Structure 1
Amino acid sequence: MTNHTDVLIVGAGPTGLALGIDLARRGVDALVVEKADALFPGSRGKGIQPRTMEVFDDLGVIDEILAKGGAYPTGAVWKDGRKVGEHRMFEPSETDPDTPYGTPWMVPQWRTQEILFARLTELGGTVAFGREVTGFTQDETGVTVEFASGTTVRTRYLVAADGGRSLVRRTLGIGMTGETVDPNPMLVADVRITGLDRDNVHVFPPHGDVGFLAVFPLSGTEDFQVIAQFPEGTDIDLSLDGIRGTVAARTHLAPEDVTELRWASDFRPRAALADRFRAGRVFLAGDAAHVHSPAGGQGLNTSVQDAYNLGWKLGAVLREGAPESLLDTYEEERLPNAADMLGISTQVHRGEVQRGKATQQLGLGYRNRSLAVDTRTNLPEDEDVLRAGDRAPDRTIDGVRLFDTFRGPHWTLLALDTKPPTAVGDAVRVVEGPAVETYGTGLFLVRPDGYVGWAGTTEDGLAEYAERYGLR
């Protein structure tokens, strides 16, 4: 293992791997270290939201994600051994020219991590397994990270992607503000089952003192995921026999119908948000910064968005001459978004909000933040009007798909029914075309993470913006 790197990422979950990919494609020297000897083996974070699918498109893994997963099946509600109704996990949604991925996609977390790991390796990135971080110290020029082996690594920046019990966060002394979402403990397990079809999610509602149980066929595998709720204070038996007993007690299946246990865990649904996402040269991302109830399918997705936001900013500072102050915008942008998604996750868990548009993360953005500059005047009050800070939607202009143009670690300037300026350098890809619905007319400078950074009807102010972030 190297003793020096530009960025050291603690944790090889979806957050750490996505960040590693983004940095590798930018030519940033980064190292991912993982305490375990292998990737996480379970399916816990299985829902990929539409916005995260757009991120995976940009990172070069969407084809594998689509091939190795599938849409969520309709839920079949069971009672006394008979199907008695249907349950839809998500409100119906429609695809349109702005949104190429309209519905969530089910991929077991272990499979998502395998895909991300393969892409990181393809780009020349490295994961050092069996490397436990025990502490670190930072100064004005970098961070010295200590390992259980007695070795150290010097890094310019340290990113904590080491989960809800993050050692890095605790070492920094950053607190988490949170609440118990549900006092009832939960079981999640990957099993092999006979006697259930793979065309439905099988839902067994609660009755009496017994909580609900649901069985999900995991796309692209022979496995099912079992999720079960237990009364408060229950000590859940995670053994094969224990899970067999739970399934047999709440369904029409016999214990022996559960033929194999592949992974199991228990948890207490809670929501928590770190008080800060940055301390000096150390950043918190993923579960180290926010812990969600799994009900809304937001934890993994919000975590990948953290990595996507932080990756281009670290790359700009380390490789493109952008000012260090750009890194301050990571917390400015991500902490409020994480807080919003925590609220939605909790509301979904409690049945106050349905899974649908609110959980797809397509509407999240960074309006009114320091990187969002809109010089246009007299814009309508309509919230749907595209503004700086919003996600840049997909469209096809003169036969060119915008998402194909955005893909890659660069900025993009759209000149729509407007003469392109000469105020930006080679670091920006310029696309000319007629005005299109959603965008309208004008100049739109799209950030590397697919959000509109600057917008205007003329180029006045664009040169100053571009220079501020190392684009000239």
Structure 2
Amino acid sequence: MSTDVLIVGAGPTGLALGIDLARRGVDALVVERAGELFPGSRGKGIQPRTMEVFDDLGVLDAIHAAGGGYPVGMIWQDGQRVGEHRMFDPVEPTEDSPYDAPWMVPQWRTQRILFDRLEELDGKVAFGLEAVGLEQDEDGVTVRLATGGSVRARYVVAADGGRSAVRRSLGIGMTGETVDPNPTLVADARITGLDRDNWHIFPPRGEGDGFLAVCPLAGTEDFQVTAQFPEGSSVDLSLEGVRKVVAARSHLAPEDVTEVRWASDFRPRAALADRFRDGRVFLAGDAAHIHSPAGGQGLNTSVQDAYNLGWKLGAVLRDGVDEALLETYEEERRPIAADMLGLSTSVHRGEVRRGEATRQLGLGYRESSLTAETRQAPATLRAGDRAPDGMLGGVRLFDAFRGPHWTLLAVGAEAPELPGSVRVIRGPAQESYGKGLFLVRPDGYVGWAGDTADGLPRYLARAGL
């Protein structure tokens, strides 16, 4: 069995990367050791920047239909509602940032939507195949499977989670810390006796007790139950165990928990892989960085890893661009992951409130070797920044960016002749961009910016355009 790109792991990271490669005509195979997609709600928050990524990948309508906004927290004490808690301050959508707030979709539904989109693009997922080791040479990678067979690929992407077998095979370490030593239960359950308009919060009742939170999962009949336990506790994941903790910490009776559909336990930690690449193998998602769930950064950072790597692999494999382009994956993504780990930990510890930073719209690559800012007096928007939405010459920019191509925006400036592979949009100076020429990468970031086209041909040549 052989392929151009082998993606190990059919979580959000692997599926998003599979979609991006499939639409670029790259032969890729996703392998998943389990017999089916992940069944739980764990990573349920989709940040505005990831909504923009999903817009480009063609799944935004399905994501919108499958979920809903975050409910207001309702604080309970002794069976009485005693106050409200808002997870984050509301923000109005703007023309340049149309997705204003996180969108709640249970992780299993997000994965199903990505899986369906991958199949629509004739992408392939093979379940029940576990990678257990690999060998690299100058031309590719041979990945050994638990079944005794192997897969030969030009490149391999490890998207196989925090306990990544691929990362361990490479001997890449993880540097990190325990964010919270207290074990936490998370379960998807059917519950009666609570409304579905609020996120129900039950603070600790006394010394040594943990909190209980019960959140209605938009688009389903389930609630996500989260409960913290004292350090050293064993967590009972059974129906009776979930019933016991819900009854002990709320006004609900044990029988109000009618079903547990999925349950897990974890101890929040933060860890970063020492490197994101080893030869022809790349780490992405939880295989590269492990977050506390607070702040909803893990799944989102992971999908954006895939979004960064996909167009670069496509350029090398489909368009013949120099392999040096792939060196920028770690250069760009590892600092972002490190920052998001720090943010997640700070949110978990109550040091930072969820807000502008957790929406991920301000992330970018100003310091990247792929970024060139040549204007004499750059405005607020700089090369390396996320390219905002808006209207230019009667065209919505996110519509112009959608697809596996580069886009040149000529904003109150004259556009040069460019290869047909670059889409050109012309219009007068506008608020978000000011004035100038802006070359937007396939992943929606400004790669090059100039007052005139001087220097643009050199940048295009480097990008293989």
Equivalent residue for 1:261? Answer: 260
User: Match of 2:430?
Assistant: 436
Alignment of 1:67-466 (within 5 A): 67-208=65-206, 209-379=208-378, 385-422=380-417, 424-466=418-460
Give the secondary-structure state (helix, strand or coil) at the position aligned to 1:318: helix
Query: Deviations 1:336-360 (Å, cap 9, x if unpaired)?
Result: 0000000000000000001111100
Using the size of structure 1 for normalisation, the TM-score is 0.98
Q: Distance in 2 between matches of 1:370 and 1:427?
A: 22
Asked if the contact 2:62–2:113 (Cα under 8 Å) also holds between the matched residues in 1, the reply is yes
Tell me the distance in 1 between the aligned counterparts of 2:205 and 2:284: 39
| Aligned partners of 2:198 and 2:215 also within 8 Å | yes
CA deviation map 1:54-74 (0-9, x unaligned): 000000000000001000000
Measure the CA separation in 2 of the matches of 1:378 and 1:130.
56
| Aligned counterparts of 2:301 and 2:91: Cα–Cα separation in 1 | 20
Question: Secondary structure of 2:119's partner?
Answer: helix
Q: Secondary structure at the residue paired with 2:294? A: helix
Distance in 2, matches of 1:57 and 1:364, equals 18
Could you tell me which amino acid in structure 2 is paired with residue 51 of structure 1? R
Aligned residue for 1:42, secondary structure, equals coil
Aligned alpha-carbon RMSD (Å): 0.7
8 Å contact from structure 1 (residues 93, 357) kept in 2: no
- C-alpha displacement of 1:149: 1.3
Aligned-pair distance for 1:438? Answer: 1.5
Q: Residues of 1 paired with 2:250 and 2:168: CA distance?
A: 42
4+ runs of 1 displaced by more than 6 Å?
none
CA distance in 2, matches of 1:251, 1:419: 65
**How far, CA to CA, are the matches of 2:368 and 2:221 in structure 1?**
46
TM-score, structure 2 normalization: 0.99
Task: Tell me how far 1:287 sits from its aligned partner.
Answer: 0.1
**Equivalent residue for 1:59, pick from 53, 57, 64:** 57
Note the alpha carbon deviations across 1:297-353, whole angstroms, 9 max, x for none.
000000000000000000000011211000000000000000000000000000000
- Aligned residues of 1:135 and 1:145 also touching (Cα < 8 A): yes
Question: Contact between 2:393 and 2:425, CA under 8 Å: does it hold in 1?
Answer: no
> Which whole-Å CA distance do the structure 2 matches of 1:399 and 1:427 have between them?
21
Structure 1 stretch 106-115 or stretch 91-100: which is displaced more?
A: 91-100
The answer on 1:39 being equivalent to 2:37 is: yes
Q: Tell me which residue corresponds to 1:13.
A: 11
How far does residue 379 in structure 1 lie from its aligned partner after superposition?
3.2
- In the TM superposition, residue 397 of structure 1 has moved relative to its aligned partner by 1.7
Query: Are the aligned partners of 1:93 and 1:356 in contact in 2 as well (CA < 8 Å)?
Result: no
Write out per-residue CA displacement over residues 73-120 of structure 1, whole angstroms, 9 at most, x where no aligned residue. Answer: 000000000110000011222211110100000000000000000000
2:211 touches 2:227 (CA, 8 Å); kept in 1? yes
Task: Count the aligned residue pairs.
Answer: 464
CA–CA separation in structure 1 for the residues paired with 2:13 and 2:377 = 40
Rounded Cα–Cα distance in structure 1 between residues aligned with 2:347 and 2:160: 26
Per the TM alignment, residue 398 of structure 1 is displaced from its structure 2 partner at its CA by 2.8
Name which of structure 1's ranges 204-213 and 242-251 shifts more when overlaid on structure 2: 204-213
Between the aligned partners of 2:233 and 2:430, the Cα distance in structure 1 is 57
| Partner-residue secondary structure (3-state), 1:295 | coil
What CA distance in whole angstroms lies between the structure 2 residues aligned with 1:467 and 1:458? 17
Q: 1:202 is paired with a residue of what secondary structure?
A: strand
Q: Which amino acid aligns with 2:396?
A: R
Q: Where does the alignment leave 5 or more consecutive residues of structure 1 unmatched?
A: none
SS of the residue corresponding to residue 430 of structure 1 reads strand
1:378 deviates by 2.9
Output the CA distance in 2 between the equivalents of 1:337 and 1:65. 25
The structural deviation recorded for 1:206 is 1.4
Looking at structure 2, the residues matched to 378 and 416 of structure 1 have their Cα atoms a distance apart, in angstroms, of 15
Q: Deviations over 1:23-59 (max 9, x none)?
A: 0000000000000000000000000000000000000
**2 CA distance for matches of 1:214 and 1:322?**
50
Give the C-alpha shift of residue 399 in structure 1: 2.2
The whole-number CA distance in structure 1 between the counterparts of 2:27 and 2:210 is 49
CA deviations 1:228-281 (Å, max 9, x no partner) are 100000000000000000000000000000000100000000000001000000
**Residue identity matched to 1:131:** L
Which structure 2 residue ranges, 5 or more long, are not aligned?
none
Residue in 1 aligned with 2:461?
467
